Amino acid sequence: MWLDSAAENIASTRIPAYFVCEGTVDPDRCNEFYVVVKTTEEFLAMYKAAWRRLTKDDRLRILLFRSKDEERDIEGQPGDWDCHIIHHPSSIDALAQHPVDESEMILQAKRPGDHEKSRRPDFIVNTFRSRSDADQEGDME
Domain enclosing residue 24, as ranges: 2-137
How confident is the model over 15-41, as pLDDT tens digits? 999 999 976 677 778 899 999 999 999
pLDDT in tens, 61-119: 999 987 766 655 555 688 999 999 999 998 999 999 999 998 899 999 999 999 999 99
- Residue 50 has what DSSP assignment? H
Alpha helices in the chain (DSSP H): 2-11, 41-46, 48-54, 131-137
Q: Give this prediction's pTM.
A: 0.86
Dihedral in degrees, nearest 10, Cα atoms 12, 17, 22, 23: 180
β 79-86/17-21 pair status? unpaired
Three-state secondary-structure class, residue 6: helix
- How many folded domains does the chain comprise? 1
